[in-house]
A and B are shown apart, each in its own frame.
Chain A
Amino acid sequence: MEAWLHLNAQTEELVGQHCRTEMRVAVIGAGVIGLSSAQCIINRFQPTVKPLTVIVYADTFTPDTTSDGAAGFWQPYVLDEGKPEEVKWNKETFDYLLSYMSSSDANEMGLFLQSGYNIFKEPVPDPSWKDAVLGFRHLTTKELKLFPGFSYGWFNTTLMLEGKSYLPWMMAKLKECGVKFVEKKISSFQELGPDFDVIVNCTGIRAQELQPDPELKPARGQIVKVYAPWMKHFIVSHDLKAGIYSMPYILPGSKLVTMGGIFQLGNWSEENNPKDHNKVWEGGCKLVPSLKVVAKYLIQFEGKIKKESPYKINQQCML
């Protein structure tokens, strides 16, 4: 999520050098990276390059992409190395999205502001993105009382961008610009080779199917979604020894609350794991006791929810 504008600079360079009049670009992948890349290419080249052909190839479209499964929480890793180009891409992304907040599009995009807490068991250095988000500050003693067992933390306002809304919105915009979508699994770059001047590879976790990459690994996550409309803040807990996203986190969405806390490097399983489920559920309820009554609450408000929902709306696996 945080690096998706990096394509902007580098691809523009590449593409600009190569052609002056006609240009044919293939984008492989229709998650948030693929769609955003296509949009940036259109924005940059459509005014001057004619004809410009951009075609997005993917075997998976919204709502089945990885981007759709994510809660849509804008927050880079908390202890990143602060690489200047990443800091720049992060801020560019945040500012770009923030500029849509005052528009009437925000709703359709699945874009909204949310404030909340990052909590730690020991003091940590401020994150590289502290100036990108709004109103970053440390937690007061009074606020830390909300989280027994945690002694340090941050409060800030960030953006939520829900893939299930954002991706359809992007696709509609791209179609308006003349971008074509082809549902097809691309098995090799050579398959597209002669028909395109540039291929933009946005295949995410399955990039290895096109080109071996030992550095690319799945980091399996498992979440639980619940209906808890009284939750108005995100809470991300951290344990530096346990590793990123291995501790409970709670991310309220526009309709449901995502509970998570699983990050298993190297695990390709797309099955729900009951042990992981319990870890997420119990961890979340420990952070926020009121989540324990979610089942009761669902029954009470059955009439106001659009569809019949089981106690925990769904358990989802995402890589």
Chain B
Amino acid sequence: RGLRCRKQRMDRVRVGVIGAGIVGLSTALCVAESLPGCSVTVIAEKFSPHTTSDVAAGILSPHLITVTPVESLRRWFAETFAHVYSIARSTEAPDAGVQILSGWEIFKEPPEERIPFWSDIVLAFRVMSDSELTRFPETTFGWMYTTLLCECLLYLPWLEKRLKQAGVQLEAGKVTDLWDLEGKYDVVVNCAGLGAGPLTGDPLLHPVRGQVLKVRAPWLKHFIRCGDGTTYIYPGVTGVTLGGTRQAGDRRLGPDAADERSILARCLVYEPSLAGCRGLGEAGVGLRPTRRALRLGGERLERGGRSMWVVHNYGHGGAGVSLHWGMAREAARLVKETLAQIRPQPTHNKSKL
């Protein structure tokens, strides 16, 4: 592929992706796969296991309070689900940290939307019967469903391996100004998560702090998620993630002892067997990069006569894992469209970018 490109063009198309969380890595992979012959580089300050994604339990269920149209959310979630499902059914599943998981989402009061927009996208979904609810304290309504879990501690390194196989470069480094990349890349893809704030000056992006406790409880085979999602238990491959907190505007990255006690106490109410966990758990903190409208779109930046092309893909809040692949594919399409504009093909050249 490289040889063919060199014959056809003087220089390869270069795409730079900022961010190595689940959004950055999956976007880079989608760009590399849809634009073979393109040189893709991921530039990030943090790589797994130090990204926000690594803290997440990784469940595929897009709980969002957003103005982004539900049709888009459905499309992105469906595409992500189908993609992760195919991994789950393959021999890659353990390496990729992907598993099928069933469980209960329970409420003290029935939610406004009795049936969530994603109910037909997960593998199986039903409303719980009254007799089923009696097992859970203070619960008057609930769903039981089967979905997927994408444990980022495994999934991100697995993605990195695939990226390297696709010829993508991974570069450690903090981008403090988008314009530092001008001239180096034809298109910059901004998957910087919370880091997109300083890069773009976006006033709508803010952190929602989430603390978790990862424990060893391999007898737990179901997830439990309560109400607004502040309390949850997600058994993954390497451990069980207990959560959590939702602290808007809180940027503290260090674990808080009071939060940890609160998480454990709340989870014990729904899963008393957690008292039998051996040893202390591992605390983690992630700042969900939250934005009322998820930002996925191209932008032509101008500054003092110079211009650069950016495709933004950030602001996923707590739904990054749930939506990552669908949005990465769309970001790759936007990159392709942008490249078509800035490097239009000569009419005699039949090759596709």
Contacts and interface: CB of A to CB of B under 8 A. Distances in A.
A254 B218 contact: yes
B170 interface: no
Contacts of B184: none
A65 B2 CA distance: 64
Interface string A97-118: 0000111101110101111000
Provide the main secondary structure of the chain B interface. mixed
Interface stretch (B30-38, B91-99, B255-263, B305-313): B91-99
Contact of B221 (A110, A115, A297): A115
Given A104-B272, A106-B272, A230 B98 contact: yes
Interface in A105-155: 106-108, 110, 112-115, 134-135, 137, 140, 142-143, 146, 155
Contact of B94 (A115, A155, A228): A228
Given A104-B273, A135-B132, A230 B99 contact: yes
A19 interface: no
A233 interface: yes
B144 to A, nearest CB: 6
A304 interface: yes
Contact of B275 (A104, A155, A296): A104
Interface residues of A, number: 40
B102 A115 contact: yes
Contacts of A135: 128-129, 132, 144
A232 to B, nearest CB: 5
A11 to B, nearest CB: 32
B174 interface: no
Contacts of B97: 230
A89 B34 CA distance: 60
Contacts of B169: none
Interface in A242-256: 252, 254-255
Given A135-B144, A290-B94, 15 more contacts: A103-B272, A106-B276, A112-B219, A115-B221, A135-B129, A143-B124, A146-B100, A228-B94, A229-B218, A232-B102, A252-B221, A254-B219, A290-B90, A293-B94, A296-B95
Interface of B: 88-95, 97-102, 123-124, 126, 128-129, 132, 135, 144, 146, 218-222, 235, 237-238, 272-273, 275-276
Closest 7 CB pairs of A and B: A107-B276, A254-B219, A290-B93, A230-B99, A112-B219, A232-B221, A114-B221
27 contacts: A101-B135, A102-B272, A103-B272, A106-B273, A106-B276, A112-B219, A112-B220, A114-B221, A135-B128, A135-B132, A140-B124, A142-B124, A143-B123, A146-B89, A157-B222, A160-B219, A230-B97, A231-B99, A232-B99, A233-B221, A289-B90, A290-B89, A290-B92, A290-B93, A292-B91, A293-B91, A301-B238
